[in-house]
A and B are shown apart, each in its own frame.
Chain A
Amino acid sequence: MRLPAQTGERIDRSTELSFRLGPWDVSGYAGDTIGSALFAGGRRVFSRSFKYHRPRGLLCCAGHCPNCLMTVDGVPNVRVCVEPLREGAVVEPQNVLGKLDFDLLRVVDKVGGPFTPVGFYYRTMIRPRRMWPLYEKFLRNVAGLGKLDEHAGHTRRYDVEHKKARVLVVGGGRAGRAAALEAASQGPGVVLVDESDRLLRSELAGVEVLAPARALGIWEGNLVPVDCGTVLYRFRAERVVVATGTIEQPLVFPGNDLVGTMFPRAVRRLIRDFSLQPGQRAVVLATDERGLEAADDLGEAGVAVERVVDLRESPLRRIEAQARAGRVRGVLLDDDVVECDLLVASGGRQPAYSLLAQAGGLVEFDPDLGVLVPTEHPPGVEAVGSVTGEGLEKVDPLPSYHGRGKCFVCVCEDVTTKDVKRAITEGFDSIELAKRYTTVTMGPCQGKLCQLPSVRLYAQERRVYETDIGSTTARPPWAPVELGLLAGRHLEPTRRTSLHFRHEETGARMMWAGPWRRPYAYSDYPEQEVRAVHESLGVIDVSTLGKLLVEGPEAAALLERLYPNRFGDMKPGRIRYGVLTTDGGRIMDDGTVARLSDDLYYVTTTSTGSDAVTAWFEWWNAVWGYDADIVNVTGALAALNLAGPRAREALERLTEDDVSAEALKYLDAREVEVVGVPCLTLRIGFVGELGYELHFPSPAGEHVWDRLVAEGAVPFGLEPQRVLRLEKGHVIVGQDTDSESNLLSAGMSWLPKLDKDDFVGKSAVELFAEREERELLVGFRMEENVVPPEGAQVVIEGYPAGRVTSARRSDEVGAIIGLAWVPSDRAEDGTRFEIRVERQLRGARVTHGAFFDPAGERMRS
């Protein structure tokens, strides 16, 4: 039922919009909110409360309270009183078992029982312990707000956009508009953000208006994310002006949550914006001018105003709303009962300071105004208008009025005055503690409606001044925001080699290797790929290896000091294995170092280590100041490892250069042109067979790969590579070592050259050498045909004493082999120990040296 058309109404009666509420078809006008349309259709109960499942109706009509939360088009917790009505919207009530008007869980309010007292779940639901899963299931159902549509994220698209502003004004009230115009008169770059869509943009020449939109918070560097629905603007503003105005506060009396209680401004909005009659017979309890204005509004709208009490002039001791089926049917004022179906009441207006407080500003209780006001602003942030307390009159209602029935301090979390009093007697005597115990200020309104009432109540109960109570810490976001908006788009930075698509086409199963995608294997039988490498020829994409050029007259000196072993004495064209350690002596990364010329080195790192090693080299060089440059060429170069007994013969067919055993010896580095592509060719043998690593420009990746494969090289993936390297007993840093491993314990005591003046980790190695290592990394061979998982426990005499880091079945060795950390007194070759595999102990024996080709004849061949 609408009032006759009036000037200024927001609705357009010529355009009707239809939508759904649960199973019902409903309609409204363009310009309606979903809430006003539902109200016009006669709906008064909009939600069920959090804990007691009491019926709740429109209270603030301003998007501040929890009373009108519904699920709209799959998005939960939408405040329908401010959500513009759209044709075809699908609206569902929340927090309800059954129907809104008859909620099965309403019984909670009636019986009370274990649910009533504050902190009930901390105490009541704990015993018996084994029942907790059941309790939890029930609690999840009765508590909480809304249901998440698990698929919603895929149907809505959210974007993030970066923006800059000279002046960002939050709030489009009179003060905000004035501040924006003033700033705009000094130049461009002024943005105004407002929650409602009612701003007249034409009045704001030179100002960029974002509405309806919400500023979620003010972070360091004046970062202000603004929620525009499906776009999040990340504003960086030179100045932020907060003009968020005030928020009407509830008056605390029994029954103050009943359907039919409303704030004065809610009344005005329903009448003036939507031409609705908020009730038939009204009582108005005013603590400020707005209350009296509401009484006038009601009169004009033809509502019978039964009683207006100005609490400033005629204070009451006792106010008690009386209910029928959860709705107001009258109110007891001292000793008088006045019948009504609308009870307009407020406890005054509270500056909406949350944004300022969250940003680090100070908020204090102002005894002259009777409310909390912001007193100090963070740098770069200003406040104007009533949010500063400007223009407010003193309000001084009782912290709570007597009467029978539940008297709510916090409607979001269903916290009553009784709960707060109880918390105080139980010793939660500071407001921050009470917040955590009672959850007051922790609900959907985030203190907008309960901070001030709880401060007032605390002061009364503890018999102290409000100024001594303080306030709870405000945290962003200031308004609820959809998680999808914060998450933004869901693409993850992923590194792919220039052969990525070739691998996919070849049928590779791709896996993550640090930030990279790499082939696990090209079929379900990685052992066949292993066999190809041993018997004939394989090729693996190792473009992910970190690759650095270190160049300069002092490059040798830099590397000498970075690595424990020696590189200054290397001849150009030779390669050496290198392990990097930290000053704590821990193994950090490993790889090869090739000297290309006197002052040019080519360094490889592990696939996951390239960024860290580059940063590490650059940092030490910044510190030592050597004349050397470090250039990360990881992505510039593709790298292929061609390995197997046929490797040389294949390479010879693909190049005119001399790659004979004499010209390109084991650990030689040469430039070789292969199939028309200049390749830095490193003869090394990570997989234990004759092998060549070809490093060449990434864009030629597919070309070289295709020619090698055409030559008979079988592509092999990471899994076969892991088997191959394990057969050689080669350690993978980060897999077989961890942040505690050092060169001595990992069996590389031959590596550090302690006669060097200095190297990173030298002091540690010296100190470690003086003590005995507790555990050592050793190879082992299983006695049984069982593959222990990585991390399996090494058991000695019944006690856990170590762990397996790698284990694989090797057809070549004919056994299950692996690497494990064992106590140093159990590291002798042939020592037996046990490994726990699925609750069973399985025997294993320490094996020193490589499992396969221990003399290394094949890779040197």
Chain B
Amino acid sequence: MSFYLPCPYCGPRPVDEYAYFGEVTHRPGPSPSMRELTDYVYFRDNVAGVQREWWQHRLGCGEWFLADRDTRTNEVLDVLLPSPERVREERLGSPPVGAEPMASEVT
């Protein structure tokens, strides 16, 4: 993978500067059932198409942001900052723990 991903602040940068945290999840409200909780924690849509996902410009400005990326072509259609309003509306949940930047196999 060597596509450019536009950081909302730094502009297009090679993807290996970023840490990827997967598609967004939706955090259930208080007292979910075990089913609802495990759906949120373990299940992913894994679409072949455009998905909204979490990225962090780990080796650059450090910012977290959302990107709409086509998983088939790696075309990034949009990047957005996770405003609290957006988070509340979309009930965004936690990213997986400990993802590292893809870096730097090549750099």
Contact = CB atoms under 8 A, between A and B. Distances in A.
Tell me, yes or no, whether A and B come into direct contact in the complex with CB atoms closer than 8 A: yes
Interface of A: 160, 219-221, 223, 234, 493, 582-584, 588, 611-612, 615-616, 618-620, 622-625, 758, 760, 763-764, 766-767
Contacts of B94: 582-583, 619-620, 760
Given A623-B92, A624-B84, A615 B2 contact: no
Interface in B20-57: 21, 27-28, 30-32, 34, 37-38, 40-42, 54, 56
Task: Enumerate the 10 nearest inter-chain pairs by beta-carbon distance, A residue then B residue, closest first.
Answer: A625-B84, A584-B41, A220-B3, A612-B98, A223-B2, A622-B64, A219-B2, A220-B2, A623-B87, A221-B4
Contacts of B99: 615
A481 B70 CA distance: 32
Given A618-B56, A767-B37, 10 more contacts: A583-B41, A584-B37, A611-B100, A612-B98, A618-B64, A619-B21, A619-B94, A622-B64, A758-B30, A764-B37
Contacts of A221: 2-4, 14
Nearest to A622: B64
A184 B95 CA distance: 47
B74 A220 contact: yes
B62 to A, nearest CB: 7
B60 interface: no
Contacts of A623: 82, 84, 87, 92
A584 B83 CA distance: 24
A616 B58 CA distance: 12
Nearest to A223: B2
A584 B28 CA distance: 12
Interface in B56-107: 56, 58, 62, 64, 74, 81-84, 87, 92-95, 97-100, 104, 106
A590 B34 CA distance: 25
B56 A619 contact: yes
Contacts of B54: 619
A625 B41 CA distance: 22
Contacts of A763: 28, 30-32, 37
B2 to A, nearest CB: 4
A619 B37 contact: no
Given A223-B2, A623-B82, A763-B31, A582 B97 contact: yes
Contacts of A764: 37, 41
A493 B21 CA distance: 22
Contacts of B84: 623-625
Nearest to A220: B3
B101 to A, nearest CB: 9
Interface residues of B, number: 39
Contacts of A620: 94
A624 B19 CA distance: 20
A560 to B, nearest CB: 16
Contacts of B97: 582, 588, 612, 616
A625 B86 CA distance: 11
Interface centre among A221, A582, A583, A615 (most CB of B within 10 A): A615
B64 A583 contact: no
7 contacts: A220-B1, A220-B74, A221-B3, A611-B100, A618-B56, A618-B64, A619-B64
Contacts of A220: 1-3, 74
Interface centre among A493, A583, A612, A624 (most CB of B within 10 A): A583
Interface centre among A219, A221, A223, A624 (most CB of B within 10 A): A221
Interface centre among B1, B2, B19, B92 (most CB of A within 10 A): B2
Contacts of A624: 84, 87
Nearest to A582: B97
A582 B25 CA distance: 13
A350 B101 CA distance: 42
B53 to A, nearest CB: 13
Nearest to A232: B106
A223 B27 CA distance: 38
Contacts of B100: 611
Contacts of A583: 27, 37, 40-41, 93-94
A619 B94 CA distance: 8
Contacts of A223: 2
Nearest to B95: A619
A615 B56 contact: yes
Contacts of B21: 619
Contacts of B30: 758, 763
A234 to B, nearest CB: 7
B92 to A, nearest CB: 6
B28 A615 contact: no
A586 to B, nearest CB: 8
Nearest to A760: B94
A468 B62 CA distance: 51
Contacts of A616: 97
Given A622-B64, A624-B84, A763-B30, A615 B4 contact: no
A493 B107 CA distance: 12
B32 A622 contact: no
B44 to A, nearest CB: 13
A234 B16 CA distance: 14
B65 to A, nearest CB: 8
A477 to B, nearest CB: 14
Contact of A766 (B27, B31, B93): B31
A757 B31 CA distance: 11
Nearest to A621: B64
A615 B56 CA distance: 8
A773 B56 CA distance: 36
A616 B21 CA distance: 11
A584 B43 CA distance: 12
Nearest to A581: B97
A365 B33 CA distance: 58
Contacts of B82: 622-623
Contacts of B32: 763
A588 B97 CA distance: 8
A841 B74 CA distance: 54
Nearest to B37: A763
A623 B27 CA distance: 11
A752 to B, nearest CB: 15
A322 B53 CA distance: 65
Nearest to B83: A625
Contacts of B42: 584
B35 to A, nearest CB: 10
B78 to A, nearest CB: 17
A221 B73 CA distance: 11
A583 B41 CA distance: 7
A612 B31 CA distance: 27
Contacts of A766: 31
B7 to A, nearest CB: 14
A234 B104 CA distance: 13
Contacts of A619: 21, 54, 56, 64, 94-95
A741 B47 CA distance: 30
A221 B2 CA distance: 6
Nearest to A768: B34
Nearest to B4: A221
Contacts of B1: 220
A612 B99 CA distance: 7
B16 to A, nearest CB: 11
Contacts of B87: 623-625
A223 B28 CA distance: 42
Given A588-B97, A618-B62, A624-B84, A234 B106 contact: yes
A760 B14 CA distance: 32
A759 to B, nearest CB: 11
A257 to B, nearest CB: 39
A154 to B, nearest CB: 22
A615 B27 contact: no
Nearest to A224: B2
Nearest to B28: A763
A612 B64 CA distance: 14
Nearest to B42: A584
A615 B41 contact: no
Contacts of A760: 94
A406 B64 CA distance: 62
